[in-house]
Chain A
Amino acid sequence: MISVPQVLYITSFLLILIGLYGVLTQRNLIRIVIALNVADSGINLLLVTLGYVDGGRVPIFTPGVQGAHMVDPVPQALVLTSIVIGFGVTALMLTLVMRIFAQRGTIDASRLRGLKW
């Protein structure tokens, strides 16, 4: 019997691997950005899963509920930070892609001299 966190772990690693594969193989710059976002989602899922506790509750105190059985709140705070950082990087990358398109007329990495690696 496979448990909930195991499913989540496997999913998150698959997402990370799919994202990294996309980054390595795609030539369209927008797709590279999207692939990085997929990898980011995998990371976020991995972080949230770290805090999983069987039958745990949301880590918010509400009147009339005992607070002892909560999931780990720390990874959730980390995920918030990670999402915001991902947003910042994505916004900057997309702007760069727009600038590259405006100047070179293409977003095909194989036709951009500076982007061969």
Chain B
Amino acid sequence: MVSPLLFIIGPLGTAFLMILLNRRLVSLILALAVTLALGILALSWLPLTLQAAQPMVVASIPAPLGIPLSLDALGAGMAIIVALSALLVILYSSTYLRNDHAPVTYYAVVMLLLMASFGLVLTRDLFNLFVFFEILCISSYILVAWEQNSSALEASFKYMVLGSIGSTFMLVAIALAYRAAGSLAMADIAKAFSQANRGEVIVAAVLFLFGMGVEAAIFPVNTWLPDAHSSAPSSISALLSGFVIELSLVVLFRLGGTVFAQIHLLPVLQSIAIAGILVGEFSAFAQHEVKRTLAYSSIAQVGLMLFALSLGSPEGAQAGLLQLLMHAAAKSTLFLVAGYFILRTGSRFMEDYKGLGRRMPLSGLFFGLAALSLIGVPPFFGFFTKWGILQAAVNLGGTIAWIGITSILLGTTLEAIYLFRIFQILYAKGENDQVAEMEWPAVTAVALFVLVVVFGYFLLPVLTPVAGAAANALTNLF
């Protein structure tokens, strides 16, 4: 009996096994095997979820009494992104973390992060969502503190305080929802909230979106992100920037579109998104550390995705989800390559990377390709996704949409300047003579991410219907 439950039990059981066996190599192989298996499983279910009108629902006790898990196109798509990025990042970690102090714990915590990520998109129960959200947060706190230097510890503490305030708010929102609906199933709450007192729904929505927004790094509550993503190990930054914040964004958005559908959140979310784009790009422009630049760029990219999703049109949501896939691949590449720059030079600052591009030709090439795609230069995937978002915004029209378009274009210009600046340093005349290229597992992992970024256009005929179905699932609670 194969069921979506495997996505939760699989990684969890693997984490227990890793700690039980306590061998670095065994953990590595287990992690690779499980992520690969789950990725293939999710891929094989994708056609099913596209054809079926009703998604696969699993629950030992049906909905309002028990906790249902449901696999729809959005869940399957996110599961593929999560499992495959995790697979590549783990492959990269095998050499990047070779001399680490606690490799088994590392892989086990990554497995639990995966379990929580899958759980967040599968569950249809509000409190269960909270539980998975907490597992996601706690594993992220630990991974952010991984390097155990004072900046990592302080970043992790800051992240924990904000995250705990967020989960406090989320629990109040859940209490309000239970009070209104007498049930924790999302479908029941959505029904109750559609008839409930408007003020009550607004309070619950604001509290919930604040809680989820902390993890999704939405504009006013994103202050933890630059510290956390830049002081975590680069493999973890890739995971956190690659799918954790996007996943939280998707979950936030699905709840906004279904449970809190009574109040019209979209204009508010659009404004927040525009603010996020501008703040992110301007801050990224002013940074001198490579990973801080990338982290601020993630804030801007989350803003971009949020803008696309909050346009409220199916094509906007579709473009936003494609942008999510592109960003997962491109930003992972950038973080993973930047990790080796830091490893080889021992410096977080960009000015120390002079001439690295010539010493590490593949890394330089990968970094350049991913950066071009992130900016949105024509032949690359990023161009088509950004174009889709702009088109959707133009079709919608209206003041906010045009302000958004202007900000996106301005942001893109800034993004092009600061990413080109890094590129320029990489190929400048410089002293870094004795640095070696990345080891082959890392090269393989990054190359596979780059493949998605470069040849994404050719995947569009396959990806577009999936994104369409997933966009449809964003506003429907099956």
Contact = CB atoms under 8 A, between A and B. Distances in A.
Contacts of A29: 157
B127 A96 contact: no
B151 interface: yes
A16 B172 contact: yes
How would you classify the secondary structure of chain B's contact residues: helix, strand, loop or mixed?
A: helix
Given A36-B161, A92-B141, A43 B175 contact: yes
Interface in A42-78: 43, 46-47, 50, 74-75, 78
A104 B151 CA distance: 10
Interface stretch (B163-171, B236-244, B307-315, B351-359): B163-171
Contacts, number: 87
Interface residues of A, number: 34
A100 B150 contact: yes
B56 to A, nearest CB: 26
Contacts of B150: 100, 103-104, 114
A115 B259 CA distance: 35
Contacts of B15: none
B192 to A, nearest CB: 14
B161 A23 contact: yes
Interface residues of B, number: 32
A99 B171 contact: no
Contacts of B156: 96
A43 B154 contact: no
Nearest to A104: B150
Given A103-B150, A113-B154, A43 B164 contact: no
A46 B154 contact: no
B106 to A, nearest CB: 16
B160 A96 contact: yes
A18 interface: no
11 contacts: A16-B172, A19-B168, A23-B161, A36-B165, A43-B171, A78-B178, A81-B127, A81-B131, A88-B138, A100-B150, A114-B153
In the A-B complex, list the 9 residue pairs whose CB atoms are closest, starting with the nearest: A114-B154, A43-B171, A103-B150, A85-B134, A36-B164, A39-B168, A96-B157, A46-B175, A100-B153
Interface of A: 16, 19-20, 23, 29, 32, 36, 39-40, 43, 46-47, 50, 74-75, 78, 81-82, 85, 88-89, 92-93, 96-97, 99-100, 103-104, 112-115, 117
Given A96-B160, A114-B151, 11 more contacts: A23-B161, A29-B157, A36-B161, A46-B171, A78-B127, A85-B167, A89-B160, A92-B141, A103-B153, A114-B153, A114-B158
